[in-house]
Chain A
Amino acid sequence: MSEVLILLLSTALVNNVVLVKFLGLCPFLGVSRKLDAAIGMGLATTFVLTLASAASWMLEQWLLEPFGLGYLRIVSFILVIAAAVQFVELAMRKFSPELHQVLGIYLPLITTNCAVLGVALLNVQQGSDFLHALLYGLGSAAGFTLVMAMFAGVRERLELAAVPASFSGAPIALITAGLLSLAFMGFSGLRLD
């Protein structure tokens, strides 16, 4: 149990996918203007990332590795991720129209979120087993959601702050992202045992 907790904490905070590994920066800067949109994007990504890490693990173990097809890894992972996103969207529209209303426009965007592909590839690199791959995906997604919500909250306040004209808009957002990333470096001193 404690191992599971350590894995989740370390992927969500110490090796945060956005602020430490610098993956998935496009939605991080693009969909962080409003808090509720950011949380919606985070939840949709959590769903897809966990599903995609499981699916890509199965693909790697049962197809790519036995047949020595390592060079097809990226293209086949992208195929699986795109199909997973599409499937999730179809199922969501049928079974939970409310959730589809909230997440609808963000779901297709996740196909091109490099954090999803990145986590799947890192899983292969680390040679994790199925449970670890799943937890790694879940932890990374939780970290992504956390950072999205934090950054959106900061940016909502920045809208009201007196920012010098040359820094307003994108520049101050990038500086804020940099400061957040510095703050997350502090977690590397966290003792998880």
Chain B
Amino acid sequence: MLIAVTSLTLIATCLGLILGIAARRFHVEPPELVSELEAMLPGSQCGQCGFPGCNGAAEALADGLAPVTLCPPGGPALALALADKLGVQVELGAMGEREPTIAAVREDICIGCTKCFKECPTDAIHGAMKQMHSVMKEACTGCGKCAEICPTEAVTLVPVAATLGNWRWREPAFA
């Protein structure tokens, strides 16, 4: 019994040590551009761009495989910043006339099912079972995943007030 426990512990410790040292010795720095781009992206790993998380999106951006308008939660503000960083032209028309929005819970129909905050990539919704949920404005990126999953349509996306970061000219309206 004792020898079994000791030997398994010993094997696991040795292997862990070897792997730990190997991870240090064989560490590969990701390209600088990729880490910088990843820092600019929202980091919520929502996957709306079609890449596996923000790291995948940053790699695709660095390789020029994805347009700078790929990130719906980032919106036009992020697209402009990315285009500036990569030195490419940006065609904001492709993003559509999408106002920046955040999620909001309608208290009268929320049943407290907890589905929305399990789905939220930024943990912006909090609450408990059979308790009303609410949204933290600072953390919400407006990705809309909660609105899709809500069984009672209590979560809706509402436009946020314009700030210097997200305001832009409206498209000219045709009379």
A interface, how many residues as a size bin?
10 to 19
| B interface footprint on A77-90 (CB within 8 Å = 1, 0 otherwise) | 00110010011001
Interface SS majority for chain A: helix
Complex: A124 Cα to B147 Cα, angstroms: 57
CB pair A87 B22 closer than 8 Å: yes
The count of residues in chain B whose C-beta lies closer than 8 Å to any C-beta of chain A is: 15
A4 on the B face (CB < 8 A): no
Task: Report the minimal beta-carbon distance from A113 to chain B, rounded to whole angstroms.
Answer: 19
CB–CB B11/A69 < 8 A? no
Is A94 in contact with B26, judged by CB distance below 8 angstroms?
A: yes
Q: Which of B4, B12, B28 contacts A79 (CB 8 A)?
A: B12
Chain A window 90-132, contacts with chain B (Cβ cutoff 8 Å), 1 for yes, 0 for no:
1101110100000000000000000000000000000000000
Is A63 in the interface zone, CB < 8 Å from B?
yes
A116–chain B nearest beta-carbon distance, Å: 16
Expressed in whole angstroms, the Cα–Cα distance for A90 and B26 within the complex equals 6
Q: How far is the CB of B27 from chain A (nearest CB, A)?
A: 8
Option from B3, B4, B19 in Cβ contact (under 8 Å) with A87: B19
Q: Which residues of A contact B7 (CB under 8 A)?
A: 63, 67, 69, 72, 76
CB neighbours (8 Å) of A79 from chain B are 8, 11-12, 15
B residues near A (Cβ < 8 Å) are: 3-4, 7-8, 11-12, 15, 18-19, 22-23, 25-28
Given A72-B7, A90-B23, 6 additional A-B pairs, CB 8 A: A63-B7, A76-B8, A80-B11, A87-B18, A90-B19, A94-B25
> What residues make up the interface of A, taking CB atoms closer than 8 Å to B?
59, 63, 67, 69, 71-72, 75-76, 79-80, 83, 86-87, 90-91, 93-95, 97
Closest 8 CB pairs of A and B: A94-B26, A83-B15, A90-B26, A90-B22, A67-B3, A86-B19, A93-B28, A87-B22
